[in-house]
Each structure stands twice: as structure tokens, then as C-alpha cells.
Structure 1
């Protein structure tokens, strides 16, 4: 059994409309949400064996905010340019290439790819999945249980949404 967690980056700033999308930082609301999510992960004792993250500034800052309240990450974080604005197909290729010994993996990136991946990987049979279909807001986290022994075996409809954490529901 594998667990895949998808985390959308926190709310980014649009203060500089001419700035390159890749370089947009978090705004104050985004920093607050990232810290709240880190606290929620720590409280729920959710941990990871490995993380793959987009190289975009807002993703790096989201991870910084998480770590402030979660504590030191005891797992490696690999920044991968392919995650930046990746399609669900590209993200699935990344999932299938995760280290075999990792039981719990985290991918931190962007929509619409993350949302579509969550929908693709899960069966249309529960309320949490339906909430994901309604939209994955910034700083939202989806944890998917996958009944496979190896990441390469992950396929459409295999998983179940086990947890959906929305920052607006924390406090």
C-alpha cells in the first residue's frame, strides 16, 4: 500500500503584474495558509519518505512556511522543473518513477495538474473526491491511498481519497 499526498502551493502575490509567473512569491495570506498547513500535518502526524516539488518561488516558499510549523523535514525534498505547471499525465509519470522504498510521497505543485491527477487516480465513489472535483484551492492537501506495492503500478481509478485538508477549514 502506498500513500501519495498532493499539496497545491499557497496563495501567491500579484503585486507585480509584469513579474514572471515562475518568480511570483507568496502573499501574506499564502504564508499564513502554509504555516497553518504545516501545523495541521504535524498535529495529524502525517509524514513522508520523499517529496518532489516544483522549482517555482511560490512552491519553495510554501515549503518554507510548512517547515516553520511542522519542524525540520526528516525526508528529502527534490526540486524538479517538470512539476512546474505539469499536466496530470506528466505528474503521473513522476509518481510512477518515485523511489521503490518510499511508502509515503508528497508532490508540491500547481493546478490544474494536481487536481486532475487526484481525480484521475481515484474512483468516483466518495464525498472527498467530489470535493476535489469542485476545485482544489491554494494550500489544499489531498492524501490518496493506493493499493499497489510499487509506484510503477499506479493507475487511473486505483486510489481512494483518505484525507482532504483545506486551509479555510483549519483553526
Structure 2
């Protein structure tokens, strides 16, 4: 059985050293917990066109470069969000050195583009909701994401009480939030 026939977890991994892309060399995103998402070397996508997961990474990189040409992409990982497969391509803005993430569907359509923003630029309603809803929350970084249809969302990463890594997604109206706690 081919890895692609075993589902997303089986199809979406890969290792290897490849040649550099024209804007630098991509590497696996090791900041993600392996249980949270599968990672692989995007440089392998440059050389191994027979692996379906690596083909997806390569196509997603092209889409990411189209919508965020100012970014120097450095890593990718595969995720499942709302039961949809997503390829997250991430890197840094060449001018600001802030994180840029582009989520791409397997068909190449961009789901969202996120740029790291200063915590002070997150609306106060959002900060109050997050800080009040998670005991002992210490924010580390914030991303402002613009999705398909131009909806805006904030993702704030940090630590909750007990040093538990937490990621919070909040709409600007601060009505509700989605909290993900990661095993360390």
C-alpha cells in the first residue's frame, strides 16, 4: 500500500536534502509537535516528484510566493483544519523579519495569509478575551490572518498556567475563541 492510501498522516511526510529553491532553502518546521502535524523537508519536493505529499508542498510553495512575494519561506508542514487538509508554508518578511504563514489547500487555493504583528496592535477586546479566558496566559507572538473572503482573525501563541503551550484563534469582534493546548 502506498503511503498516500493510508490517509493524510501516512502520505504527508518526507525527509531528504534537496537543492535550494530560488529564494533560499526550505526545511521542516520543527517547532510543531509531531502529534500536532506532520513535517517534511520541502527541499525534497524539489527532487522527489513521485511522492504525493512532497508534490503538494511544492505546489503550495508556488501559491505562497504568489500571495506573499515579500517573504523568504523557510519551512512547511501539513495540518488538518476543520477537516480540511492544509499545507502551511512559513518564513519571514524580508523587510521586517517578522513571521509570515500561508495556508494552502491541496488544490493550490490559498486559505489564508498571516503576518506577525506586535501584540500592541491586537485589538484590546481580543486581548481582554484571551487574557480573561485563559488563567495565567503569557502571550509570545500574535499573527493577523486574512482568509478567503477577507475575514480577519488573530492567532495568539503563548503559555498558560503551568507553562503549557497554547494557541488561541479569535475573530476581531472578540465574541468567541478557539483554544488549542499542545503537549510539550
The interval holding the TM-score normalised by the smaller chain is 0.3 to 0.5
Which of the two has greater strand per residue?
A: 2
The higher radius of gyration belongs to 2
